[in-house]
Chains A and B, each alone.
Chain A
Amino acid sequence: MVCVLLCDGTNFSTLALRASPQQQERHFLEILNTTLQLITSGDATLWGIVALSLRISLSATLIAAVLAIPLGTGLAMGRFVGRRIIIMLSSSLMALPPVVVGLAIYLILSRAGPLGEYGLLFTPTAMIIAQSVLIFPIILALTTEAVNPLEQTYRPLLHSVNASHWFRLKTLIIDARFAIFTALLAGFGRAIAEVGAVIIVGGNIAGLTRVMTTTIALETSKGNLELALALGLILISLAIIVNTIIHSLKSIGQKYQRTSR
């Protein structure tokens, strides 16, 4: 039984479970057709949803990066007490299910919670916060991993020229920038694809906090599977575009990044 596209064994497989090969092909064509119609129709709601998804995930990536990149580099540099524990903790946090992160942020931002007075629940801001928290450990861990080998190589040289901690940090971040950028994109990928966190703190409100993934979830629950898959195709295309950008940037940057002979 061939499963079509975004199958995860639960809802989507129903599409193909009882379908004959001809029906499967029809389904597939229907989905492609729906996708093209969606894209070319210039439907304002759809593009509003795409724009919101990008805005939220890009903001979250930026915020998480500003915090995680210096910290990740610092972890690669330092040998302080508790460093191993921080590294281990952040690696484990990467496995946090998004829905758990969403729940935690919900409890904090809820009126009944510690930061309730700011009325941030069910807003795009809450979604940005939730995704920043979600992807922070990823960017942190990948940054440390990217910087570690470079730090090993550079340490004696930087030590010998009496570089300050701050100067060392700057130098490492700049010289490891392409690997760090890849870490950023991994974080972005996780953010744009998740649904558990944003649906809880955002509330999936039409026109306000509805993004691609929550729309897909909604349409699935309404049984509009073709539409959901078409949206999924658009999401995949977005991801492909983003990844293509990584790879072309990476090859531009190859010039200085070859390891010494």
Chain B
Amino acid sequence: MKFLIGLFLIIATTIHANEQKIILSSTTSTQNSGLYDHILPIFTAETGISVKVVAVGTGQAIRIAKNGDADALLVHHRPSEDAFIEEDYGTQRFDVMYNDFVLIGPKTDGIIFNNLNEFFNTAQISGSLNFVSRGDDSGTHKKELELWGYFNNMPPLGKWYREIGSGMGAALNMASATNSYTISDRGTWLSFGNKGDLVIKWAGDSIMQNPYGLILVNPKKFPHTRYKQARIFANWITSPKGQKIIGDYRVDGKQLFCPDSDKEKNNRLACPAQ
């Protein structure tokens, strides 16, 4: 019976020529920054391998890779990435790039603070501002909770704190509409088209750094994965050429991502370029 269903499905499928491709499971924030649209065609032109990006929330991206539905995983949450390797789903992790998270808020609300510590403490007490949280267990959300825990010692509570359980775009849309604060990755923020009255209120602290890792899905666990092609992609994106393309990517004249694979060299670079 299963054979018949399979036969039907195969016949029903459009017949693709023997295409060289890999499926890359990644996050919506990376996708929305436009980086993939910029860098992947260059890779394909050079190697003939097309990269199909499935961009979802971090949790879903990892789950897809764990199911063996992707050949490689590119996310930005180190603990999850380490667990992925530990549990044998991936063979190797590559440092690819990093950017940072920024604190977004309304330009003209007259709220002043000298550091993040002040911000997170004032927010909880005064209730004079609104905060939008993604609340979806994504890398950004986890970073946001990390910040609350670090500066505030208490999880945020109150009507001013709205958990929407949605992606970065939805969070920014709501922040824009309600003049609220939120934590965003710089990439999504720069390419976001509905900023309204919002601006970057704080950035630059090292705790706001956001590193991205690329992991190859373990072919021993999933024999059908396109391991060879995925390796080629990993090598390319961490090569000096690939890294330069990442570093050169600009949105509105601003650099979004900092190359990360050559730690020695990269630490000496000023990044992101101002």
Contact = CB atoms under 8 A, between A and B. Distances in A.
| Touch test A–B (CB under 8 Å) | yes
Interface in A109-138: 110-125, 128-129
A34 to B, nearest CB: 12
B169 A222 contact: yes
Interface stretch (A10-18, A69-77, A161-169, A175-183): A10-18
Nearest to A116: B68
Contact of A223 (B13, B28, B66, B192): B192
Contacts, number: 97
Interface residues of A, number: 37
A7 interface: no
Interface in B1-54: 2, 5-6, 9-10, 12-14, 23, 28, 32, 37, 52-54
B240 interface: no
B19 to A, nearest CB: 10
B177 A221 contact: no
A111 B222 contact: yes
B242 interface: no
A128 B12 CA distance: 10
Interface of A is mostly: loop
A116 B54 CA distance: 17
B193 interface: yes
B201 interface: no
30 contacts: A11-B174, A13-B177, A110-B67, A110-B69, A111-B68, A111-B224, A114-B2, A115-B2, A115-B5, A117-B224, A120-B13, A122-B52, A124-B14, A125-B12, A125-B13, A129-B9, A203-B23, A203-B56, A205-B53, A206-B37, A206-B53, A221-B168, A221-B170, A221-B173, A222-B191, A223-B172, A223-B176, A224-B193, A224-B194, A225-B194
